[in-house]
Chain A
Amino acid sequence: MPTLRPPSTTLETVVFVFFAALAVLGAFGTILSRNPIRAAVGLFVHIVALAALYLNLGAHFLGVIQLLVYAGAVVVLFVFVIMLLGPAANSPKDGRGIGSRGAALIGVAGIAAGLISTLQYVRLPLPERTDSFGTMNVVGSFLFKQGVIPFEMIGVTLVIAVVGAFAIARGKHERRALTDPDPTAPEKLAEGPEPDAKSAKKTAAKQSAEGHS
């Protein structure tokens, strides 16, 4: 392609072709496999191949961060959640008809045509690659000088999301536990004297256990 910087050495070309193929394979593995763990491993392969492509382009920091964040954290989290869900995470057989599949095919073809025509006719002003391109120093000073406000705002947004998730997931239980230590107690009392005796026994056992420890 004339608009893109051609790979400068044969080694770069070989690395590019190998990892580009691997990335496509991984992506297909992600969307085609019905077993969610296999899909996650396909994503892992895809991400590692992408990181290698970044390294090949000289974006060292981006490549390493790609591995660290996506392969090391996101995929591991996916696998962890899938393992916790167990067989419930298996996707059922795809029941969509030929119409929706054909529509998807046309959509994909349209996007591919758009991408190819863009690459053919649009000339991006690609700067010359310098020695310091993509190093931690350059990326870091850009992030913390020109891009400091968006960077900090993204950080605040993420913190808000985490705190919000906590409030939704844990908030009510915690509050109830604080005001009423045993929410099932009134129902137990209404049933009769038996549960009372049981709970008394329990407290006695608890006290003796505490006494021992």
Chain B
Amino acid sequence: MITGTTFWIATAIKVFAIVFGLVNLGAILLWVERRQSALIQDRMGPNRASIKLFGKEFRVAGLLHSAADGVKMLWKEDFVPPGADKLLYQLAPVISLVPPLCLFAVIPFGPSIYPDNLRRVFGSEGWNAAASYIPLHISMADSGILVVFAMASSGVLGAALAGSSSDNKFSLLGGIRAASQMVSYEVTMGLSLVGSFMVFQTVRLEQMVQWQVDHVWGIFVQPLAFILFFTAAVAETKRVPFDAPEGESEIVAGYFTEYQPMKMGMFALGELVEVMTSSALITTIFLGGWQFPFLKLDGFHLEMFGIAKPIVLSHLAVVIISAITFVVKVGLLVLLQMQIRWTLPRFRYDQIMKLGWRILLPASLINILLTGIVLLFVNAR
């Protein structure tokens, strides 16, 4: 691994790329969501916002609506309710936006880059094995995915604080609902992955991806865990069908009822960032991470189709294909989550609790037991 000044420069670039990328993709996702719901409901969707350049009007398929929204949010009056706890009221949006941004630190979005070997083929003649590499994830934390859970569990506090500090009954109800729902589904989220840890023999996400590159995608060895984790992740984002904390038809807007322009925007952005990070996690643990099917570090291996000779690719090409693959996989999962949002009706609050504690939690415990039994037999052979 690289050390010294290069390490700090590389880390700074990675942090900037991820934070900048996530925040801006959040704005684009807002547009995607509106256009997709319009497609589903046979409407036009947003298409009016335009910008005049050189006497010509550009509409960019309604993409400018997100930019207009951002400008509006920044310039609107920022009103703090007089009865609110000022400090906590200001703190709550920050606490709900920062953790989902932070937990991207341990997710690998590509294979390690060897800057000295960009034009060579991995493992071939002329490959400088002693060269230093840059891992394409920010944190080298030994605890891996536990960092994700630690961050995600702190995110609950944002919604709870927003609910309790706004001096509004609807906010309070929403905050209580958010806290209880998120705590309930975090249990399933953690337990559903224990089976994956047992199979992969690691908690570090980059090693999980390596295992999947060497063997098979996680979804094939842990199908039940995939369903459980996906459900719990959708519930954690607090979006329809699990939107009891917001509950527009019952409690106005739930825990962020009293929040105006940009602070409300931060809650919305935090939600969209959560959608992206949960998709990235599912990609990494169950869908092979950055791996393109049949692509290994030295090129395509198509022995399965009777092509004995691998199609050799240079290191740079492999890295680029892998990084794009990761983005595409995450994007498809995000679209799936949006589709779920606009397709399924909302659950009642008691149904959410029953699903979490009576169905998902026992199922994830059974998954651990089954995985243990199967591993015992597989390892005994």
For B186, list chain A residues within 8 Å (CB). 72
In the complex, residue of chain A having the shortest beta-carbon distance to the beta carbon of B153:
A72
In the complex, residue of chain B having the shortest beta-carbon distance to the beta carbon of A33:
B87
| A65 lies within 8 A of chain B by Cβ | yes
The segment from B155-163, B210-218, B243-251 found at the interface with A is B155-163
The digit string for A38-49, where 1 denotes a CB below 8 A from any CB of B, is 100100100010
A83: contacting residue among B91, B146, B163, B183, CB under 8 A: B163
For A48, list chain B residues within 8 Å (CB). 154
| Pair B154/A67 contact, Cβ less than 8 Å | yes
| Pair B157/A83 contact, Cβ less than 8 Å | no
| A104 lies within 8 A of chain B by Cβ | no
| Pair A73/B153 contact, Cβ less than 8 Å | yes
Complex Cα–Cα for A68 and B183 (A): 12
The digit string for B45-57, where 1 denotes a CB below 8 A from any CB of A, is 0000000000000
**Tally of contact residues, A, Cβ under 8 A:** 26
The digit string for B185-220, where 1 denotes a CB below 8 A from any CB of A, is 010000000000000000100000000000000000
User: Which range holds the interface residue count of chain B?
Assistant: 20 to 34
A76: contacting residue among B87, B141, B160, CB under 8 A: B160
| Pair A80/B143 contact, Cβ less than 8 Å | no
| Pair B143/A84 contact, Cβ less than 8 Å | no
| Pair A38/B154 contact, Cβ less than 8 Å | no
For A27, list chain B residues within 8 Å (CB). none
The digit string for A110-147, where 1 denotes a CB below 8 A from any CB of B, is 00000000000000000000000001100000000000
For A38, list chain B residues within 8 Å (CB). 85, 87-88
| B147 lies within 8 A of chain A by Cβ | yes
| Pair A76/B164 contact, Cβ less than 8 Å | no
CB-CB under 8 A for A135 and B179, given A38-B88, A71-B153, A72-B149: no
| Pair B143/A61 contact, Cβ less than 8 Å | yes
Q: List 20 A-B contacts (CB under 8 A).
A: A37-B161, A38-B87, A44-B154, A44-B157, A60-B143, A64-B141, A64-B150, A65-B146, A67-B151, A68-B149, A68-B153, A71-B154, A71-B157, A72-B152, A72-B154, A73-B153, A75-B157, A76-B179, A76-B183, A79-B164
Which residue numbers of B lie inside 8 Å of A, CB to CB? 85, 87-88, 91, 141-143, 146-147, 149-154, 156-157, 160-161, 163-165, 172, 175-176, 179-180, 183, 186, 203
